[in-house]
Structure 1
Amino acid sequence: MKPVLILQHLHQDGPAYLARWLQARGRRFEVFNTEAGQDFPDTVDGYAAMAVLGGEMSANDPLPSLRHAERLILDAIDADVPVLGHCLGGQLMARALGAKVVPSPAPEIGWHPIRVVGPAAATWFGDSPEPVVFQWHYDAFELPPRAQLLASSGACPHQAFAVGPHLAMQFHVELDDAKLRAWVAAHDERFLAASHAPTVHDGPTMLNDAGRRLRLQQALADRVYARWLAFADTASGRP
């Protein structure tokens, strides 16, 4: 069985719940972390699926690793290897497919509801019309050609889109408790500058009822990850 490829940009933005989900199902995966000095692979050949994680940089920053990730995204799409983008990863998917990444109408940090859009969204996100997910972004993606909008919010009109089996999300379904607490403890100047916005939560608010919120979001992540890998299994000829 081919492994899953995971592209990581920063030490503090690892696969977290995604890694645990894959391990629980016996799915092999390989993580390449550019901050650790690991170059991304040259190709997606030999991989069943690809996940692209987040990071505090902008998708528009002139970093060779970001352009490398975009090339791999296009490589995967051309090869029918399902791609899943988390926050920055979703923005890189949008850029690779020809859309712009621009400042978000409002920054979103903390637990915020999204509105699922259209019947196709339920196949990814379930029956709840407004699931609450964890956000941490200052930029947002526009929709690429042929993309299907799946989720929106008042602060950010494009929260998720799909192009066939490939899903881009503006939010962090891979979050777990350790990652949440590390992020809350590591506020940067940009966070402090945005902290006046009503869509930016402080640390205690982000941690309040975190156990219940994480359980609900991880149930949503279970559905997202299962559908993503189901596309990979179908493409590989497995039932």
Structure 2
Amino acid sequence: MDDSISILSLIIEADLVVQSVMGVLAVMSIYSWTIILSKKKILIDTKDDIKKFLKHFSTNKTPDELKSQLPYSGAMVGIFTAGYGEFTRSTTSKNQANSERAYRLMNTTANDEIDRLDSGLSVLAMIASSSPYIGLFGTVWGIMHSFIGLASVKQASIAVVAPGIAEALIATAFGLFAAIPATIAYNRLISQVGEIDNQYSAFIEKMFVVFQRQK
């Protein structure tokens, strides 16, 4: 392919508005990948935290035994500690009321953790949904600009029209390049957050049973 009509040359020679659209989409793509990679690491660490904690957890143990065997700090330990602290707050008795307060506090702590895991995903969803439209705007503007330029040409041909249309279509390609990974990653990450939420809920229900068994 001739260098004069390469993709790079089309980007460089594109209309200022089209170039601006491409620049915005490039920034959005980089930002989405930053969110994807950082969030992926956080979710991997969270899953490891759950696995490590559950190795030491058993419904046959008392809360005091579980407390004494906590091997490390983490989200699961934070949820357990919140419930255990509320359950043992009253030194006179460990009754149903204590269990229910501990249950509610553990749920609140787990919800805070899920909110932390969810943070940033809304931005990823925004990038996934808006990028194609931004790219389409750049394409429409570029094609419109190209056809306006034809008014000053006495004889139109494919050689005259093609470069302008090609540079306009690059904007759509930029939009798809930003949107497709963001869409796939958002659906995958939100699914993983949901799985973690279910594991937290299951653990809290088990701890509620453990608390209720105590006299």
TM-score in terms of structure 2 length? 0.25
Answer with 1 or 2: which has the greater Rg: 2
Higher RCO structure (Cα 8 Å, ≥6 apart): 2
Higher helix residue share:
2
TM-score (norm 1): 0.23
Higher share of residues assigned strand: 1
